[in-house]
Chain A
Amino acid sequence: MEYEPVIGLEVHVQLKTKTKAFCGCANEFGSKENSNICPVCLGLPGSLPVLNSQVLVSAAKVALALNGTIRNFIKFDRKNYFYPDLPKNFQISQFDMPLSEHGYMDIKVDGQAKRIAIKRVHLEEDAGKLIHPEGTACSLVDFNRAGTPLLEIVSEPDLHSPEDAYVYLSDLKLALQYIGVSDCDMEKGSLRCDANISVRPVGQIKLGTKAELKNMNSFKAVRTALEFEFKRQVKSLEAGERIVQETRLWDEKKEATFSMRSKEEAHDYRYFPEPDLPPFTFTDADIKGIRKSLPELPKERLGRFVASFGFGEKDAAVLISDKELADFFEACLKIYNEPKKIANWLIGPVLSHLKSNLSFEALHLSPENLTKIISLVEDGTVSNLAGKSILAEVVETGKPPDTIVREKNLGQVSDVDELKKIIEEVAAVNMRSVDDYAAGKENALMFLVGQVMRKSGGKANPKIARDLLAERLKKT
């Protein structure tokens, strides 16, 4: 029997605001432990939360970008449970009236378009951070993260392969980065993803029993964990076993999921309206205003790049796949209006430098530098090859391209007399190739051009050298 996986993803995104959701403590990653805390985020008696207006705006932007409806009346609820990272013993969240519902995201997997429904987007606060020092009987608690704003984005079980999940996550992250509301850095925990997965025979409508997967630390880990879990569940079913509804942890090293096997008392969160926060309202005009404030989203930018610059969809997709890269491209364009040439340089050599060091700033690369290099190549001052080594040097040292050309003496030799001299020398020691060419062997010309390039230390202008050589060989 053939089985298919049915996958739903629950994504938590930290909103990049200056302050926490309900108090004025800094919302900052990497501060010294317990330095951004106050009576509100510690849940001390008598303190009252007040909502950060920016949190609601950022959340609404995301909801609208994901094509969701926005509720006109918003309230918060308490989710009650005990855990050492939760100082108030409840989390401020949203239960029966989430900020947004009925959203969707269109993705393309292997050329096939799919619409993934997004069930809900709601706001809540994050918990603190627990550290478990090895070999001790204690855990350490840092409340810097407690009370920072989190957005929970829950998809419908519309994903039907681990690859669907991977593409959905990548596109979601990109959209969030374009909106500018989150870093979406899984390593820093600013984006976290849990996955629900069940399997069913292809063609069956009824859903199977699902397992919840946790502890994936990258999008690739999500994909691999889902691949593993799909196989595990299919194997179980084929062996005549039943799937148990449970939470399973992904073990990156063992590349397997393991049942948490905790007592797993049924959760009873006793949600009730948060009495310390008043309700909030959005007028239709508010929503319109927020929609208007949305920046160009990745899909729109892709469309524009294809339409305005005549790029293939594949190249355009590479350019928009990182907001910084796309912004850099457009900044270059303002200085040097050659979209295709800039795109080629970015997608080729620049991207290969970026791979190891993912920011333009770290690469010392500015739009001015890059367009300068491209124009040096285009006007024949340096060869294409030299252009690439200038780029490497800029990345290495941050020196201006002009300086590098001078210092390394990379200027291309286009001077006819100088080239003729080199050609004579090359012809003298390669008589056979000269004869071969005379005998009609076209290949010999390319060989001789190669020799000229070599003799000139790669600096001969290849086009002029070729023309001069062809002329010189005709004479013999």
Chain B
Amino acid sequence: MEEKQVLFAGFGGQGVLSMGQFLTHAALSAGKHVSWVPSYGAEMRGGTANCLVTISDEEISSPITENPLMAVILNRPSLDKFENKIKPNGTLVINSSLVDREPRRDDLDVLKLPVNELADRLGNPRGANMILLGAYLEKTKVVEVEKALEYFDVIFKGKSEEVIRKNKEAFLAGVEYARQHW
């Protein structure tokens, strides 16, 4: 696999950073080279948050880029900020519950899902990020869904069984959504 860089962006508090961490953990467990670079400082006071995950078979030279191959966007300001930065023919995943406009570019592979509605339907509003992640992985195979599931317990080490179960459930709901709609 050639080097892939994925940007996660949304409001602070939407679980953007932990989504990225989950993917980083999962990819590491699957034997990849990884790095996770967060924006920092501004999240504290209601600002936006983002993180950049790099996954590669080779040692990672630069963990930083202006132009990620993929972006997972959780809110409108993040779409406005990052749409133009995605690499040509890249992938754009959008939380359509909170993003009220269409992407302007036509070269991108655009994948939409109403994450907040799905999370509410599951009765797990805090699981939105895991739903998105499940759908994203099912579609892109950046890390195999089966592998990610295998490492769930490791990644959530120290968390209660209830928390792990709920996260897994949300993750699988996302996988299912992608199978049916994408």
A binds B: no
Could you list which residues of chain A lie within 8 angstroms of chain B, going by C-beta atoms?
A: none
Could you list which residues of chain B lie within 8 angstroms of chain A, going by C-beta atoms?
A: none
